[in-house]
Amino acid sequence: MSGPNDKLSTLLAYVESEGRICPKPRYWNELWEMLPNKNQDDGRWNPSLPLILGAWHDTTNEEKSARLREHIEYAAASGVLDIVDAYLHELTPDLWHSVIDDKHISSITGKD
């Protein structure tokens, strides 16, 4: 029988597979809105805000991936992992920011 840690590990592996980095901004914000008991203390959110809007272009893929991981771990600790798991699995490939997106942009702009 699998437990919550197995489900967490499986979901983390899923979101890091096939070049996935994080959901595209609109869908990442929807995921963040699902997280319960969000609070703000001294101007800092718990859990941290998704890296969207102005932060989208000022953060690396590694930072985005780490923030998504933080959100998934928060979901697990808050008892909503099943909901977040279902949501992330429902996102089609075009709703994910991925390594493939970056390669496509680099081929158009000539920048890595």
Going residue by residue through the chain, which has 112 residues, state the pLDDT in tens, using 9 for 90 and above: 456 689 999 999 999 999 999 999 999 999 999 999 999 988 899 999 999 999 999 999 999 999 999 999 999 999 999 999 999 999 999 999 998 765 544 444 455 4
pLDDT, position 100: 74
DSSP labels for 9-62?
HHHHHHHTSTTEEEE-HHHHHHHHHHSSS-EEETTEEESPPPS-THHHHHS-HH
The pair of three-digit structure tokens given for residue 99, joined into one six-digit string: 């390594």
Domains held by the chain: number: 1
Give me the domain span that covers residue 78.
Answer: 4-109
**pLDDT of 2:** 59
